[in-house]
Chain A
Amino acid sequence: NAGVMQNPRHLVRRRGQEARLRCSPMKGHSHVYWYRQLPEEGLKFMVYLQKENIIDESGMPKERFSAEFPKEGPSILRIQQVVRGDSAAYFCASSQGPGSDYEQYFGPGTRLTVT
């Protein structure tokens, strides 16, 4: 059973371009979470999705950022018109369900560098 997959692992974008980060959850998992980690910092929650639904996007900036988890295919975190401050590691996690009974499994992350 493959773990959580994220691609690309490294992404370089110039200011103003768009960044698309993909996350394929573990087989059988229908809950996906996105986190952002700045250097030397802990992970910060961004958004929680269940298939085709956004459950909680309280940690996601209201402008330029969007996320989706379609019925088929990976979850996508999209950042429009990137700025230098968007440079960070973005981690996705998946679980079988919500709640503390369901462990979140993290992917290897996508490192976004904005030049």
Chain B
Amino acid sequence: LAKTTQPISMDSYEGQEVNITCSHNNIATNDYITWYQQFPSQGPRFIIQGYKTKVTNEVASLFIPADRKSSTLSLPRVSLSDTAVYYCLVGDIRDKIIFGKGTRLHILP
């Protein structure tokens, strides 16, 4: 599984768009990019997954450049309830997920 690097923490304000970038220089051809969200005292929750270009769902957008060596999770108009840890995961996830420390996003009023 490819190693990922993402910021340890980020602060933002309510109503703003938040972009969290993840580096994965060693991504393999078969690897997907997946983002999970974890609130305190809860299990992680799947947010979005992509392979290339752009993916959008009701929660977020995922931007993946052509070389796929990085990806950016975009959260539009965040609210206080978006305060959580966000994990970027890369791999051909056939049997397990390897989580890093994630990015602690803190939304301020």
Contacts and interface: CB of A to CB of B under 8 A. Distances in A.
Interface in B64-95: 87, 91-95
A44 B96 CA distance: 10
B34 A100 contact: yes
Contacts of B91: 100
Contacts of B101: 40-42
Interface residues of B, number: 22
Contacts of A40: 101
A98 B42 contact: no
Interface residues of A, number: 26
Given A35-B99, A42-B102, 17 more contacts: A41-B101, A42-B100, A43-B44, A43-B97, A44-B99, A55-B95, A91-B44, A99-B92, A99-B94, A100-B94, A103-B49, A104-B97, A106-B43, A106-B45, A108-B41, A108-B43, A109-B42
21 contacts: A4-B43, A33-B97, A35-B97, A42-B102, A43-B97, A43-B99, A45-B96, A48-B95, A91-B43, A91-B44, A98-B94, A99-B92, A99-B93, A99-B94, A100-B91, A100-B93, A104-B97, A106-B45, A108-B41, A108-B42, A109-B42
